Structure formats: C-alpha cells, structure tokens
C-alpha cells in the first residue's frame, strides 16, 4: 500500500498492521492529514471508524458497503453539518479472496456478499472546508463514461443491495430445514 500511495505522489503514508481501535482507545493515533481506509465490514467496525472519522474533523475517504449510507447510525453520525460526498463505481468493485493453498482453494476476485446477497461499495468522503471545491472540481471533469459517479446524498445513490436483515437463529434454522427438505425432494 505504501509503495502504491508513494507512486501516486503521497510520500508520507502510515499503514501498519496494528489494532486501530486500540490506538483510538488509548489516544495514540499517529498524526495524519487524511484518513483513507477500507475497514472490515463485519461487527461494528464500520460504525466505529465512521464515528472516529467525523469526530476527528479531518478529511477522510472510507470504502464502505453502500447499504451503510441508509442505516440510522450513519444518518445520526453525519447529521449536524458533516459534508458527505459519496463516490460510487459504475461497476461493482471486486475484492481479491486469496484462497487457501493448503486446502487446494485458489484465490479469486469476488463481489462482496452479506447474508448470501451481493452488495455494492461506495467511498464515503468528507473534505470539510474543501468540500465545495472538491465537488466543483469533480463535476467539471465528470463524463457519462466515467468509472465512478459522485453523489452528495445517500438518497441519490442507486439501490444496488438489499438492507433486509437476516432472521434470528431460530428463523435461520427453520429456513435451512426448508431448503434441505426442498433439495431432498427435488
């Protein structure tokens, strides 16, 4: 990552394999100008990093599942004047799943899934005092054939995934039994 960012002209990049949330908890986050992250999508990672990023009042770009932008916690966190820009790819991002050589599983590019359903990803960005300037710059160069589109509201994002929650453990067990029964009959 550091080499790639350096090749783009960013010479001072901090990207270490460490517990980010521990650094936040102990208030030992290294000084930074811009936070760029693709956090784990599981657990409360997304909500945690979003809260940190907004509270920091520094520019950020977070690659998140697109359905997060419709969550109540997202709306609560960005309420009160946090200027958000959403950059969505026109084709879904594919992530590299490295596989497991010891199990004979080859690596492959995959579209992320939650509860068996594919979802899109979006860059949630905030440039604070530079927000209007950045959006004007983007709009000036935006073309119909662009690989990404910029949105300034979650309501404007195309609906590429479902926000349906999975059932509780009992409901999921019932669904598995129905599927097994249907498979044995068919």
- pLDDT tens, N- to C-terminus, the chain (186 residues): 889 899 999 888 999 999 888 999 999 999 999 999 999 888 889 999 999 999 999 999 999 999 899 899 999 999 988 999 999 998 888 888 888 888 888 888 888 887 777 888 999 999 999 999 999 999 998 887 889 999 999 888 887 655 455 667 887 788 778 777 777 775
Task: Give the count of beta carbons closer than 10 Å to the beta carbon of residue 59.
Answer: 19
Please return the burial class of 66, using the count of CB atoms within 10 Å of its CB with bins 0-12, 13-18 and 19+: buried
**Dist. CA 59–CA 175, nearest whole Å:** 44
Output the pLDDT for position 65.
92
Q: Are 132 and 70 in contact (CB under 8 A)?
A: no
Q: Are 98 and 107 in contact (CB under 8 A)?
A: yes
Output the pLDDT for position 165.
59
* Helix (DSSP H) and strand (DSSP E) numbers for the chain: 6, 9
Q: Are 141 and 148 in contact (CB under 8 A)?
A: no
Task: Report how far apart, in Å, the C-alpha atoms of 57 and of each of 13, 35, 126, 143 are.
Answer: 19, 11, 9, 31
Match 């010479």 to its residue by tokens. 11
First-to-last alpha carbon distance for the chain, in angstroms, is 49
Output the pLDDT for position 163.
47
């Amino acid at each position: 990552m550091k080499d790639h960012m350096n090749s783009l002209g960013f010479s001072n990049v901090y990207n270490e394999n460490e517990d980010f949330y521990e650094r936040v908890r102990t208030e030992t986050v290294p000084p930074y100008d811009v936070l760029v992250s693709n956090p784990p999508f599981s657990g409360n990672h997304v909500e945690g990093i979003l809260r940190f990023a907004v509270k920091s009042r520094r520019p950020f770009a977070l690659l998140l599942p697109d359905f997060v932008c419709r969550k109540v916690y997202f709306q609560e966190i960005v309420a009160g004047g946090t200027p958000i820009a959403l950059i969505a790819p026109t084709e879904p991002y594919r992530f590299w799943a490295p596989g497991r050589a010891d199990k004979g599983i080859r690596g492959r590019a995959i579209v992320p899934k939650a509860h068996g359903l594919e979802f899109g990803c979006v860059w949630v960005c905030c440039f604070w005092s530079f927000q209007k300037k950045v959006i004007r710059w983007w709009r000036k160069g935006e073309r119909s054939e662009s690989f990404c589109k910029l949105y300034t509201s979650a309501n404007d994002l195309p609906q590429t995934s479902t926000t349906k929650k999975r059932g509780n453990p009992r409901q999921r067990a019932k669904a598995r039994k129905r599927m097994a029964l249907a498979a044995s009959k068919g």
